[in-house]
Amino acid sequence: MHILGIDVGGTGIKGAPVDIETGTLVAERYRLPTPEPSKPGAVAGVVAEIARHFDWQGPIGVGFPAVVLHGVTLSAANIHKKWIGADAAALFTEATGCPVTVINDADAAGVAEMAFGAGRGRKGVVMMITIGTGLGSALFIDGRLVPNTEMGHLEIRGKDAEARASDAARKARGFSWKRWAGFFDEYLNRLELLFSPDLFILGGGASKRFDRFAPYLTVRAEVVPAQLLNDAGMIGAAMAAQQAISR
C-alpha cells in the first residue's frame, strides 16, 4: 500500500509516496520552502501543491511541528502562532481533497525509526531526538509511542532546551561541533535523569554529522544516529495515516 507522507518543517515542507510495507519512498521526494509567514492557509497551500505534484488522490499523512490531538494543533513551536487551536487535519483535507491524518513531526520520525530504522526490534525505553530548527522528541516504551512529549521545550538554565542545543542554535552562535556538543550533552543528560532510556536515536539534519559530536557525549545510554535520516518524518506520517485507516 502506498500513502503520501508529508513532513512540515521550519524551513521546508517535503513529501513523497511511501510504501507502508517496506518503509521506503517510491518516488523522489518533492520539497518546497515553508512560507513566510507560515500561517495556516499558506502552509495548507504548499501541502496541496505537493499533493498535486504527485497527482495524489488517496490518504495523506502529515508530520507537523506541534502538539497534535485528534487532528488539532495545540502548540506552535517553530511555526506561526495562528496554528494554535487550528483543526489542521480538516484544513489539509479541504486543501487537498484527500483524507489527511496529522501527527507530531518528531513522533512521526520516531515511529518510522522504530519500525524500519535504528529502533527496529528494540524494547525498553527509547527516545528519538530530532535536531534541526528545534529539538523534537518521541518516547517509546517497549515499542509503543507516548505521543506529544515535546521535550525540546524542557527548561535548562532558564531557557527552552532547543534555544541552546538545536542545530539552528549552533549555526546562529557560530559554534564548532565540539563546542555545541557540550550544550547538547547537557540536554541529553537531563533527559537521562528524567527517563533513564536504554537508547537515544538522534535524527534530523544534524544527525548526518553524528561522527563530529558523538565523541563528546557522556550519557550512560546507547546513542546512535537515525538510519532513515530526513525521510523518517515522511515515512512515519504515512504510517500514521495507514493506522488511522485501520481503526
DSSP per-residue codes, 95-109: HHSS-EEEEEHHHHH
Please say whether the beta carbons of 60 and 6 come within 8 A.
yes
Return the C-alpha cell found at 46.
Answer: 504548499
Q: Does the pLDDT at position 124 exceed 90?
A: yes
Q: Which CATH architecture has domain 2-104+231-246?
A: 2-Layer Sandwich (3.30)
Reported confidence tier of residue 78, pLDDT bands at 50, 70, 90? confident
Mean predicted confidence (pLDDT) in 11-19: 96
Per domain, the residue ranges of the chain are 2-104+231-246, 118-227
Q: Phi, psi (5° rounding) for residue 138? A: -140, 130
* Sign of CA pseudo-dihedral 193, 198, 204, 207: positive
Would the CATH topology of 2-104+231-246 be identical to that of 118-227? yes
Q: What is the CATH number of domain 118-227?
A: 3.30.420.40
- pLDDT one-digit tens code per residue, 146-162: 999 999 999 999 999 99
Mean predicted confidence (pLDDT) in 74-79: 90
